[in-house]
Amino acid sequence: MKSLRQSLIDYELPLLKAIADQRAVLLTAGDHTAVINQLVETLLSPVATAIVLDDLSPAESQALEFLLQNGGQVEGPRFNRQFGEIRSMGPARLEREQPWQNPANPAEGLWYRGLIYKSFQVSSQGSQEIVYIPDDLRPFLNPKIPQPQPSHPDFQIEAVAAPALTISSFNRLRENIFRILVYLQTTPVRVQQDEALAAADKQAVAQTLLPPLHRHTPSEAELEFLLHLCRRAELLTVAHGRLRPEREPTRSWLQAAPARQITELQNTWRADPTWNDLRHVPNLVPQPTGWENSPLLARSKILDYLAQLDTAAGQWLSIDHFVTLVKQIDPDFQRPTGDYDTWYIQDRHGNFLMGFAHWDEVEGALIRYLLTFILPVLGVVDLGSPDQTRDPTSFCLTPAGQSFLTGRSTIDDLPPKTPWLRVDHNFLVRVPAQASLYDRFQVARFAQLESYDPQRAGYHITQASVKRALKNGVTPDQITAFLTRVTNNQTPLKVVESIRNWGTRYATVALEPATLLHLKHEALASELRQHPGLGPLLGESLNPTTILIPARHVAQVKRFLIELGYLE
């Protein structure tokens, strides 16, 4: 930060004289350099500083204390919102109005006493105005003002009572990603020109997911996020116009320990600059007018505050209180320049949400979107609600969420010992929750999901499900060998024989539509087959006066017969 002399050097003489008048400095010279020298000597005097601090109003002392507690500098818009804006005045207006005699707000009171200054800093988000205390002046303020505190005060909120209804996110991320991979492996889904799915395909895939968390998390929205997440994690690829699992990354993910599977996807979102959370907040319609925001900045700030929460396992926290505390401590968490006037965002009714007055509708809505949609989908928090008809009002960090936020894994990352699968005489495959997702994925290729709960999944082997697997290149021998391995050779013989029989019969007959060509006499058959254009289009002869015409050739045969005069 600048020194006091560097801060004063760009001031015009009328402003320097205004500060001198407010600090009772009797100027002995009139040139610019001499005035700066006198002001620096007085403003850095411990005695003069103690006098001016005693003269501050409570509001001015609070503003100075706020700056010191934030390391001596704060973004201009944030400071202005709390303590007022320093009016811009040229030399003529300054001499005419003499605003230091009656400051409009605490900020102007400190400004004309030479205690605070303004400058611009260049950051990754562009140029931003800051209000600051010069480095060499700040030590003289310590006797009257508390020592500077960390830039981020302790972020703590009181726990609330356990909710009447708990909305658990346990295993949701793994299960839904698994179901997407299974569907895209077993069902051809073609992408459109922009690589998006057609509406019918979106609906079909969405129907395979777990029921929505609550009424504001429709399956289609969750699917959109999860498909994006899969693409970023390289689990999906587009090949020959079809969206399908990428073989090796999918195999690695399915074979990984559950903790690693979850963490990999959570970290994919954390580091993803292409998913802009703000642009997916319900009821917000950002307008494409050239402004940009950094999703990584906002995301990291909110995750950082969640990581600061000193909560015991199972402790519930108020969503409203969390939003309110962020607004109090760091309202500009996604706008480092404090600019609330150039982000063109509308609500669903077309009303513009510009200016800090709409913070709750934009920033507040973004935080709620993260807490009630993204983070539950990722298994970071569970939600609490008074009942099924009302929105979530509280949240609780999950063990997986605490590991994600702190970077310290509390879950065994080693793959557990895989239990045996069970197949009964009714062709039902029981897959325990502890089973490898890779083994379950193989089951899902030739069997249909029939039941699911946190303890197990049930799959039904049917002729139709086996036929689907055969169409996708899986052989009956591969299916039976797999079942032998995962059931410890306990698959009923009836099931094994049925799968082999279905495979033996598969695609051994074919039905094709055709047209019969009837002739008046036998000689016509030879005559028609000798025609160079018509002959190759004719099928086999069923008898001397009946010829089979394949469906694909009917139109051409008809045209030839008309041209040759055989047919009216």
Core vs surface per residue 409-447: b (16+ CB within 10 A) or e = eeeeeeeeeeeebbbeeebbbbbeeebbbbbbbbbbbbb
3-state secondary structure of 211: coil
pLDDT tens figures, 35-74: 998 899 889 888 888 888 888 999 999 999 999 988 889 8
Amino acid at 290: G
Asked whether the predicted pLDDT for residue 148 surpasses 50, the reply is no
Distance (Å, rounded) from C-alpha 59 to C-alpha 389?
45
pLDDT tens figures, 356-368: 999 999 999 999 9
pLDDT tens figures, 446-500: 999 999 998 899 999 999 999 999 999 999 999 999 999 999 999 999 999 999 9
Higher pLDDT, 211 or 311: 211
The answer to whether residues 448 and 462 touch, using CB atoms and an 8 Å cutoff, is yes
- 146: pLDDT confidence band, cut at 50, 70 and 90? very low
Mean pLDDT of the chain: 90
Quick one: pLDDT at residue 150? 42
pLDDT tens figures, 500-509: 999 888 777 7
Asked whether the predicted pLDDT for residue 539 surpasses 80, the reply is yes
Quick one: pLDDT at residue 125? 57
Q: How far is CA 254 from the centre of its chain?
A: 22
Quick one: pLDDT at residue 151? 44
Instruction: Tell me the average pLDDT across 87-103.
Output: 91
Asked whether the predicted pLDDT for residue 298 surpasses 70, the reply is yes
Quick one: pLDDT at residue 2? 84
Residues sharing a CB contact under 8 Å with residue 75, sequence separation 6 or more, in sequence order: 128, 129, 130, 131, 332, 336, 337, 338
- 413: pLDDT confidence band, cut at 50, 70 and 90? low
Residue with tokens 């513009």: 352
Share of the chain above pLDDT 90, in %: 66
Burial class (CB in 10 A: 0-12, 13-18, 19+), 477: exposed
Asked whether the predicted pLDDT for residue 7 surpasses 50, the reply is yes
Distance (Å, rounded) from C-alpha 250 to C-alpha 265?
12
